[in-house]
């Protein structure tokens, strides 16, 4: 497992090749989770697709397993292929290029702050001691994976559900499917203190 982890850390794109006959076993899900936690691009290749009889049912089964086990990153790219018959091998590279471009996407600070204001006005963060937990500023501080920082008056009191709300809407509004997104909370300073 140490070699796997080292390979993941040195990679930018990770292909996880699974067997279509027995897809997404416990070890496959564990490796996929490691890839996503490291913030790498994950593409799942489903090999021996030519041996599957009911392709729609099998694909639905795999998507169901992924949505339950790796819900933190929806829409992970899947490529069905047959290495023996050399079918859909070119789709692996096309998917890698497309997903890599998404992984490198940058959003301007001005757009993010307008977006944050709209999201907060739609659903404000929960109150803390009957006072608003103000979200003051947002910026993208890194790519690979897209990493966003939000300056909040009380970051420790912002619930995980609200963070997921922001991440899911970032994913939807800025077209970031299938890649991990990091959201960091920073404490905004009081300009009137000291």
Q: Give Cα 152 to chain centroid, integer Å.
A: 22
| Residue of 176, 182, 128 lying closest to 150 (CA atoms) | 182
For 58-115, write each residue's pLDDT tens digit: 999 999 999 999 999 999 999 999 999 989 999 999 999 999 999 999 999 999 999 9
Instruction: Write the Ramachandran bin of 98: left for phi over 0, alpha for psi from -120 to 50, otherwise beta.
Output: alpha
For 17-65, write each residue's pLDDT tens digit: 999 988 899 999 999 999 999 999 999 999 999 999 999 999 999 999 9
Set out the domains of the chain in order of their start, with CATH numbers: 2-103 (3.40.50.300), 109-187 (3.30.300.20)
| Residue of 154, 153, 145 lying closest to 183 (CA atoms) | 145
| Residue of 171, 175, 173, 183 lying closest to 71 (CA atoms) | 171
Residue for token pair 């998917």: 95
């Amino acid at each position: 497992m140490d070699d796997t982890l080292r390979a993941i850390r040195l990679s930018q794109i990770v292909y996880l090749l699974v067997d279509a006959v027995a897809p997404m076993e416990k070890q496959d899900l564990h490796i996929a989770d490691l890839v996503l936690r490291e913030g790498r691009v994950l593409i799942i290749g489903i090999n021996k697709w030519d041996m599957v009889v009911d392709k729609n049912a099998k694909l639905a089964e795999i998507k169901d397993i992924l949505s339950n086990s790796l819900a933190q990153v929806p829409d992970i790219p899947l490529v069905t292929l047959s290495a023996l018959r050399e079918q859909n091998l070119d789709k692996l590279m096309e998917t890698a290029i497309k997903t890599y471009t998404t992984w490198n996407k940058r959003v301007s600070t001005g757009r993010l702050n307008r977006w944050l204001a709209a999201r907060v006005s739609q659903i404000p963060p929960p109150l803390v001691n009957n006072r608003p937990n103000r979200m003051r500023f947002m910026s993208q501080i890194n790519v690979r994976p897209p990493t966003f920082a939000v300056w909040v008056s009380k970051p420790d009191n912002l619930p995980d559900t609200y963070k997921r709300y922001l991440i899911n809407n970032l994913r939807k509004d800025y077209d970031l499917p299938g890649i991990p997104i990091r959201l960091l909370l920073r404490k905004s300073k009081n300009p009137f203190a000291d």
